[in-house]
Structure 1
Amino acid sequence: MAQDGMLRAVRLAEGLAIPQSNWDEMHLRLPTAGTRLIDGEQHVLLATAGPLRWRIDEATQTLEVDAPASAFMGQRMDLSSTAPRVTRPSAWAPFINYDAQWQHRTGSPAVADALWELGLFGPLGDVSSTGLARSEGHGVRLDTRWQRDDPARLARLRVGDTISQAGSWGRALRYGGVQWGTDFSLQPGFLSFPLPALRGEAALPSTLDVYVNNSQRLQSRLQAGPFDLSELPVVTGQGEIRTVVRDLLGREQVVITPYYVSPALLKPGLSAVSVDVGMEREDYGIVSNRYGRALASLTHRRGITDRFTRELRAEASSDRQAVGAGGWMLWPSLGTASAAAVASHARGKGAGWLLMAGVDRQARDWSGGVQLRHASRGFSQLGMEQGSAPRTVLTASAGTSWRGHSVGVSWAEQRGGRFDSKLAQVNYGRDMGRWGYLGFILLRDFMRGGSGTSMGLSWSRALDERHGMGVSVQRQRALDGGNDNLLQAQVQRNPDFGAGLGYQLLAESGGRQMVQAQWQGQRAVLNGGVARRNQDVETRVGASGGLAWLDGSVFAGRRIDGGIAVVDVGGHAGVRVMHDNQIVASTDKRGRAFVSGLRGYQPNRVGVMAADLPMDVELDALEIQLTPAARSAALIEFPVRRGRAAVLQLIDPAGRALPPGTWLQAVGQTRQFAVGFNGRAFLSGLLPGRSRIHAAWADGRCQFELELPPVSGDDLPDLGTLICRSSPP
């Protein structure tokens, strides 16, 4: 590739030497022999530069260098995400969530239930307590806990009621105590599993296009030399990467690389830890404060290689202990294989063991898996009652799809517990485009004999973005030996993202009809329904939402599940507020709006509708982007400036119009306005009284004063022609 310019070349007995600065401009690797100091400047001796040829055209005094791609410096493109930076600290904000239901059935007394949550957002994390109140009995406390996140370390701490991490072979238990562990969701863009890396060479400056399963994921420019692309985001499972390198001469290199990515694996050197210490929760949902035996568990997963991740887990209570090891191995041609071995000891039962093995495959041609779990009679673990768990569990499934058709089969079997079972299922689906979707399912329970067979046929179609309809037929054997046939038809409408109404109409051949609806408002969600079967009528109504105290006021909204914010638009009422381009609220008479559902540790765009503001109001930005914590409260202020606007024509003392593109700026303000053709200009944000305006263009500058007329019905007065007189720099 020809390069313009001149460089100094020094002839030595060992050969030609050129300055290191020119060498670096060509992106060439420094030779292992290093550089040589000539006349106070570092030079590179071409004879020591490895696989590189050169010659000088004496007639034109041109240096020609022939270097292979390996002689250039490598380029590394890392697409991995960084830790999110919380842009707004959480404000103190107590809140309450409620979900109340009232229900009445013919011949029975009415029943009312309510779920509630009391909480507090703050800079030190969030505290919450949930409970259930019943009209038929006393209320019950459910969970009380304090949670604090550390996104930089991908760690989360919980103190109070929580659910233990089960690992690959444990059981998830409710307990009260302390939980600390790794949580990759605290960095939403972080990918914990190994991703494919691409390597190649470009002989000339080129462009790089990367396609994953025929979908373009990256386009970039390359300098000559080797390149290394890491952390390429791909779809999990089996797929194909196509790399296209196109150089300046139009030549293309196409490389197709198959891959298999499994989220069960961890990157080499990456660890995930979970520690649970506390007391097991008993009679959850029935008794408020009943805790049983103490428990402790530790789970540690670590990525060893790109294809192997191991897990170690230990758990213990006062009467039983278990320890085990397992791992996941990637076979790119098949899928992910897993295995685990566990040893246990329990008081009164002695020692026991558990073995697990399985294979899982996710691919475009077919997907499926097999999992086998077998335990000895003496095996015991936390959360396992005596003789309740099956000794052997086998599950298998497989499925494929082609040209709108999909077929799947599955088998599930368990033996050695309180109840043995054998279930087989076959399902088929057909996407018929604008005619909808057709589905068929066949289920067989071998433990029930002939009465254990049921089948169903369904058809559904989307009418538009919100409306849909469907019909289904189900047939199964009744316990008395007859057949139960059920025909069902329904029409539904999904509510809008903002305020809106959703409903469902359903009718069955057995004489049952149901109508239910849900209305989503800015301050609550209301629902209700009526169902009728023969002479029995059931009526239900309910409401859910949240209340929060923030910035000295109480705000009502939908249920508070994520972050919340109060948006202040400078006292202007009726201004619509948007979250990610969806209208979610309007400002009240004080110019403030309540927004819930902010996504934690992710960018959220909150904006206002400019059309709802008066013409004399100016905003520096109509949209603000913030990254809050997962459960936090924020204050968002849109700086509002009031002022009047006017149009005018500007001329110099000689009567010539100021040139187009002249910049105008009022004294004491930062905003600038451009002059158009024939000296016409528009100014806004003008304050009452006289204003001095500076004008500047490429060849000169001037200044003038203007005075706005009294406020009248004309929101945009024309000030006529004004003279701009010269001013010092």
Structure 2
Amino acid sequence: MRESPACPERPPKDMRPRRMLARLSRVFVLLVMLIAVTFGAFPAAVARVPDGAHRLQLEVFLNGDATNLIAEFYRHPDGRFSSRRSELREIGVAVPKGDDKDVLDLADIPGLGLRYDEPAQKLFVELAPEMRLARDYAANDNGGHVTQENVAVSRDFGQVLNYNLYGTSTRGYGRSARTFNTGSVTFDHRAFSPFGVLQNTAIAGTTLAKTGILRLETAFVFAHPETMTMTTVGDAISGGLNWTRSVRYGGGQVSRQFSLKPDLVTAPLPSVGGSAAVPSTVDVYVDNIRVASREVGAGPFRLNNIPVPGESGLARVIVRDVTGRETVTTIPFFTSSRLLAAGQFDFSLDGGVPRYNYAVQSADYGRRWIGLGTMRYGLTETVTLEAHGEATPGLANGGAGVTLGLGRFGLLNLAGAGSWHRETLGGFAYASWQNTIHGVFVGLSTQRTFGRFEDVASVTARPVIGDTSGDLTDSGFFVVNRSARMPRAIDRLTVGVPLPAWNASMAASFVNLERADGDRSQLLGLTYSQTFARHYNVFVSAYSDLARSRQTGISAGLSFPLGDDVIVTSSVSATRDDRSFSAEAIRPMGTKAHDYSWRLYTNEGTNPQRGASAAYRNPWAQVTAGLRQDNAFIGGYAELDGAVVATPGGVFASRRVNDAFAVVDVGASGVEVLHENRPVAKTDWSGKAVIPDLRSFQRSKVAISPETVPAGTHITLTEQDVIPGYRGSSTVRVKTIAAQDTARVKIQNEKGEPIPIGAVLTHQETGINYAIGYGGMVFIPGIGDTNTVTIRHGEKSCETSFTREDRNGSNGRVGPLICKGL
């Protein structure tokens, strides 16, 4: 019998997990050590001192000017000096590229001389101009300016209900003609809190589509300003790029919203540079407007983040030294909002189910899930990376792009994408370029699809609506039965030419569109506009679809003001099938709290139309009414638009609140309220007013007009900065105190001398401190029947008191009171 080979003895079952855990622990420790070394978790090794050298920390002077920097140098036994490459760059020496830790001998740097002041521990470096690095300065540094006080974002609870009541009545001319009446109420409701905003929109009544209640959107939104992210659960529209398509869906979205920090500049701003022989002041002008001013040291300089009004132009840089001598240089600049500043990251993540028949059906959602993701990243000031992906059962779509700032050569955007759907591969390519050349704007773009390229919008699209309302078709609406796939080709050319010598401008555009079903359009458009005699504007426009010979038209007109606030416009137009003449006179709505507008118009031609309308706006609502008439019908309409807001401070009527608002509580009626120094409302009978046009997360100054405060009262606050939360409110409380509750108190010591300026008075009944002014005078609002005050100055203190009956005259003067001990 053969003897079986010896088998290795297996460890007991309870030992195997221990050994495996020990192995995993070793692997984990090794990974931690690798990550720590890679990302610098351990302290960096101290730079090795060259053999025989002494390490010195010296104040550096460059070409005789103080740099206000202390750098590390090594002094060798033979008197030579050396320093690390990073230190030399920091003090402004243009050393060759290499490892920052490399130690360079200063004697080997061309154009560099030095003098060492050992007693003062200073190093004087003389450097040739070509060997100096430009020093960076911020265009706006707040130096010498008042820094704004930090204001906390409001965390109020409340609700807003925007409403719009709209009714029409139309009747034909015949005796047996029918009268058509419609009416609707549009609601836009939201409940806001520090934890988010729940918002709903709906239409109720009789509309062209249906009769009843039609829900539009419902969503819960949470905004996080610290991370500039917004989370939406409910109805949303997906994010996208220039070369992608968005879809409406129900689900969830997480996206970056730079608007949550209005003071953040997300696009790279241009820089200007130059050189100053001595410390100087640099002013930058764009379009004859000074946009930046900064003091710079001697040597090359670069001013970063210049706040320019447009995307391209010429900047005039004026360098003025202490003697008044000026050097003027003109530098072209180019920037674009399509670029992200270096390090900025923008994204949108979307997931849910597609929504159909928006504004026709209340809740028509698909069953197949969709997912979309979009990203932009500012790699450098001139390179922004882009990526986009989409997925749904049976489809995978992904692409990438890049936006390049080419300086004076313009802006270039390149992108490509691919799709896989039903075992079919498709491709997509996009390119665009724009630039301003000697004031002439030129924009080019093209996109192409290859094979059967699909995206979420095309594969989730439904066929044409089969149950379209008869009222819609009877009213002139029609269904366009076209493919939902992305067009095969879209080419655009846009040229804009300013003609400043003639106060005119001219523009031309061409669009070539080839749809997936083979339909094609080639649209050519031309416009010309000129202003003469400072008030009169002449305009001409023409268009033609080169693929359809009968779709051609031209129009020309004249516009001019009539008085200070009325604008009159008249025009003639012609197509192959129609000729018409139109005239209009309009008085636009102003910015006052109580204002009005009106409009008269006529359009004579194949289908003549005439009408008139007028609107009145007050702090609580806006009312509009109008009449219109054509060949077949005559009718009218009326509209009431406003809002009701509810906060802990009360319930108020207001104009429409599109974003955020503020409630101002003055405590007295008829007081004028200002927003950014502009009168916007007056307090009502309850002493409160609503400012309906604030911006979320944006600082706003709210003030009251002191001269409108009722006589015999005192206000504790005249202005305040507020920052409302996302689509929320801020409350401004202005305490109004009656004159009999105030006192102007004069206090002296036992020698009859006024209490020193700056002494602190504490009103014992309220616990509020006040500073004593000239002549021992102090103003105390909110006094009681008896009042005890304590005065402290240095280490000394004293106490005295007075009553309400001690007030003398209309200004409530009290005293002089004697306070012993000071």
Match among 582, 586, 606 for residue 487 of structure 1 = 582
Q: Partner letter of residue 498 of structure 1?
A: A
The separation in 1 between residues aligned to 2:572 and 2:250, in whole angstroms, is: 46
Classify 1:614/1:682 alpha carbon distance in 2 versus 1 (closer, same or farther; 3 Å): farther
Instruction: Give per-residue Cα distances to partners, 1:463-496, cap 9 Å, x unaligned.
Output: 4664322222222221xxxx42223232323233
Determine if contact 2:347/2:375 at 8 Å carries over to the other structure. yes
1:611 is displaced (CA, Å) by: 2.1
1:431 matched to 2:531: yes
> Mean Cα displacement is larger for which, 542-551 or 27-36?
27-36
Determine if contact 1:73/1:226 at 8 Å carries over to the other structure. yes
| Alignment-derived partner of residue 595 in structure 1 | 691
1:366 is displaced (CA, Å) by: 0.5
Instruction: Give per-residue Cα distances to partners, 1:16-40, cap 9 Å, x unaligned.
Output: x99969999944544542699xxxx
| Alignment-derived partner of residue 470 in structure 1 | 569
Determine if contact 1:662/1:695 at 8 Å carries over to the other structure. no
Determine if contact 2:345/2:376 at 8 Å carries over to the other structure. yes
1:723 is displaced (CA, Å) by: 6.0
| Alignment-derived partner of residue 408 in structure 2 | 333
Match among 184, 190, 194 for residue 119 of structure 1 = 190
The separation in 2 between residues aligned to 1:134 and 1:18, in whole angstroms, is: 81
| Alignment-derived partner of residue 558 in structure 2 | 459
| Alignment-derived partner of residue 472 in structure 2 | none
Classify 1:133/1:708 alpha carbon distance in 2 versus 1 (closer, same or farther; 3 Å): closer
> Mean Cα displacement is larger for which, 339-348 or 681-690?
681-690
| Alignment-derived partner of residue 322 in structure 1 | 397
| Alignment-derived partner of residue 628 in structure 1 | 724
| Alignment-derived partner of residue 44 in structure 1 | none
Instruction: Give per-residue Cα distances to partners, 1:83-102, cap 9 Å, x unaligned.
Output: 99761332221222211210
Determine if contact 1:122/1:633 at 8 Å carries over to the other structure. no
Instruction: Give per-residue Cα distances to partners, 1:238-274, cap 9 Å, x unaligned.
Output: 2222322222233334343322112212223332221
Match among 525, 529, 535 for residue 626 of structure 2 = 529
Match among 611, 614, 624 for residue 517 of structure 1 = 614
1:95 matched to 2:160: yes
1:51 matched to 2:113: yes
TM-score after normalising by structure 1 = 0.82
1:152 is displaced (CA, Å) by: 2.1
1:585 matched to 2:684: no
1:445 matched to 2:520: no
Determine if contact 1:355/1:373 at 8 Å carries over to the other structure. yes
1:156 matched to 2:230: yes
SS in 1 for 2:714: strand
Q: How many residues align?
A: 684
Q: Partner letter of residue 121 of structure 1?
A: F
Which structure 2 residue ranges, 5 or more long, are not aligned? 1-52, 77-104, 172-177, 462-481
Determine if contact 2:382/2:405 at 8 Å carries over to the other structure. yes
SS in 2 for 1:118: strand
| Alignment-derived partner of residue 267 in structure 1 | 341
Q: Partner letter of residue 501 of structure 1?
A: Y
Which structure 1 residue ranges, 5 or more long, are not aligned? 1-13, 37-46, 57-62
1:175 is displaced (CA, Å) by: 0.1
SS in 1 for 2:439: coil
Classify 1:71/1:338 alpha carbon distance in 2 versus 1 (closer, same or farther; 3 Å): closer
1:323 is displaced (CA, Å) by: 1.6
1:189 is displaced (CA, Å) by: 2.4
> Mean Cα displacement is larger for which, 359-368 or 701-710?
701-710
| Alignment-derived partner of residue 141 in structure 1 | 215
| Alignment-derived partner of residue 35 in structure 2 | none
| Alignment-derived partner of residue 821 in structure 2 | 728
1:175 matched to 2:237: no
| Alignment-derived partner of residue 395 in structure 1 | 492
The separation in 1 between residues aligned to 2:779 and 2:375, in whole angstroms, is: 65
Determine if contact 1:33/1:48 at 8 Å carries over to the other structure. no
TM alignment of 1:177-216, pairs within 5 A: 177-216=251-290
The separation in 2 between residues aligned to 1:659 and 1:177, in whole angstroms, is: 69
1:503 is displaced (CA, Å) by: 1.3
1:398 is displaced (CA, Å) by: 0.4
| Alignment-derived partner of residue 594 in structure 2 | 499
TM-score after normalising by structure 2 = 0.74
Q: Partner letter of residue 138 of structure 2?
A: M
Q: Partner letter of residue 631 of structure 1?
A: R
SS in 1 for 2:534: helix
Determine if contact 2:58/2:71 at 8 Å carries over to the other structure. no
TM alignment of 1:33-48, pairs within 5 A: 33=73
The separation in 2 between residues aligned to 1:649 and 1:632, in whole angstroms, is: 46
Instruction: Give per-residue Cα distances to partners, 1:156-191, cap 9 Å, x unaligned.
Output: 111110001122322111000111122222222222
| Alignment-derived partner of residue 373 in structure 2 | 298
Determine if contact 2:237/2:248 at 8 Å carries over to the other structure. yes
SS in 2 for 1:185: helix
| Alignment-derived partner of residue 241 in structure 1 | 315
Determine if contact 1:83/1:187 at 8 Å carries over to the other structure. no
1:408 matched to 2:470: no
Instruction: Give per-residue Cα distances to partners, 1:108-155, cap 9 Å, x unaligned.
Output: 321012221222100011110111223251211111111111222222
Q: Partner letter of residue 495 of structure 1?
A: G
Q: Partner letter of residue 88 of structure 1?
A: V
The separation in 2 between residues aligned to 1:325 and 1:131, in whole angstroms, is: 38
Determine if contact 1:704/1:724 at 8 Å carries over to the other structure. yes
1:372 is displaced (CA, Å) by: 1.5
Classify 1:430/1:265 alpha carbon distance in 2 versus 1 (closer, same or farther; 3 Å): same
Quote the RMSD (CA, aligned, Å).
Answer: 4.2
Classify 1:590/1:19 alpha carbon distance in 2 versus 1 (closer, same or farther; 3 Å): same
| Alignment-derived partner of residue 77 in structure 1 | 138
SS in 2 for 1:266: coil
Determine if contact 2:770/2:780 at 8 Å carries over to the other structure. no
Classify 1:19/1:366 alpha carbon distance in 2 versus 1 (closer, same or farther; 3 Å): closer
TM alignment of 1:603-622, pairs within 5 A: 603-622=699-718
Determine if contact 1:512/1:534 at 8 Å carries over to the other structure. yes
The separation in 1 between residues aligned to 2:750 and 2:428, in whole angstroms, is: 97
Classify 1:710/1:539 alpha carbon distance in 2 versus 1 (closer, same or farther; 3 Å): farther
Determine if contact 2:673/2:705 at 8 Å carries over to the other structure. yes
| Alignment-derived partner of residue 105 in structure 1 | 170
Q: Partner letter of residue 651 of structure 2?
A: V
| Alignment-derived partner of residue 538 in structure 1 | 635
SS in 2 for 1:265: coil
Determine if contact 1:238/1:259 at 8 Å carries over to the other structure. yes
The separation in 2 between residues aligned to 1:625 and 1:437, in whole angstroms, is: 41
> Mean Cα displacement is larger for which, 174-183 or 73-82?
73-82
- Structure having the higher strand fraction is 1
Classify 1:351/1:31 alpha carbon distance in 2 versus 1 (closer, same or farther; 3 Å): closer
The separation in 1 between residues aligned to 2:252 and 2:139, in whole angstroms, is: 37
The separation in 2 between residues aligned to 1:154 and 1:143, in whole angstroms, is: 23
The separation in 1 between residues aligned to 2:68 and 2:780, in whole angstroms, is: 55
Determine if contact 2:60/2:69 at 8 Å carries over to the other structure. no
